[in-house]
Amino acid sequence: MNYWEFRDKLLPLGCFCIRQVLLWFPDFNRTSITRWVGKGLLTKLRNGYYAFTECKQTPDIQYLIANKIYNPSYVSLHTALSFYGIIPEMVIQTTSVTTLKNTRFTNDFGEFSYNNIKEELFFGYEPKPLKDNRSFLFATPEKAILDLLYLYPFYNSEKEIENLRLDDCFMREELDIGRLRNYMALFKNKALDKRVGLLVKLYDYD
């Protein structure tokens, strides 16, 4: 098999694992992957996962890769908050939530970190499209805030909430407070309820 036949089949996936390759090409010689990585045609993302190097030019491709190389997961926390303009910082690392154990990967497409959450709390995300009609899973603004307050318990005072520097316009005019409260109820966590209470007080939602 030549590289171009391989590329035509697998490029639409964005990134792929060896298992997917073998579904398309049962007799595939794995040494071809090593050779194409050496030529710069492919990039290794983690053990068994690869992407076409040319995909680096695709806007937001790191979010699709974050979903694919550690599944199930969705992008949330600081990355999602920065994406929505809720926090002012530019976040270099792609942060995700998963039902699997905490882990992180670094490759030529970026840094990827994953925070474990209970299966019953794995909700509040939606697909967002790439320009090429592929899509990735991304937390809603309300769930990204709750994931952050739940997984980072040091945000337990009004001062710490203020230090997040959440965008005042977004928080007062765009945040869906009803959705936030509905999501919060599903956590059934008193400590989180208290942190959200501080948030509500700070932005005068009552």
Give residue-wise pLDDT tens across range 134-180.
899 999 999 999 999 999 999 999 999 999 999 999 998 999 999 99
Residue type, 191: A
* pLDDT at residue 130 in the model: 85
Cis peptide before 153 (omega within 30 of 0): no
Helix axes 3-10, 31-38, angle to 10 degrees: 90
Q: Which of 55-59, 66-70, 72-76, 108-112 has the lowest mean pLDDT?
A: 55-59
* pLDDT at residue 14 in the model: 87
Judge whether 175 and 142 are in contact, CB under 8 Å. yes
Nearest to 166 by CA among 122, 116, 200, 128: 200
Residue 16 pLDDT > 80:
yes
Residue 132 pLDDT > 90:
no
Alpha helices in the chain (DSSP H): 3-10, 18-24, 31-38, 61-69, 77-83, 141-151, 158-163, 168-169, 177-187, 190-202
Residue 206 pLDDT > 70:
no
Map out the domains of the chain as residue ranges: 3-57, 61-202
Residues 6+ apart with CB under 8 A from 67: 73, 74, 75, 96, 136, 137
Average pLDDT for 178-194 = 97
CATH match of 3-57 with 3.30.70: no
Whole-angstrom distance, CA of residue 158 vs CA of residue 138: 27
Nearest to 124 by CA among 183, 184, 195, 196: 183
Whole-angstrom distance, CA of residue 135 vs CA of residue 114: 19
Q: Which of 26-30, 67-71, 86-90, 202-206 has the lowest mean pLDDT?
A: 202-206
Residue 12 pLDDT > 80:
yes
Residue 85 pLDDT > 90:
yes
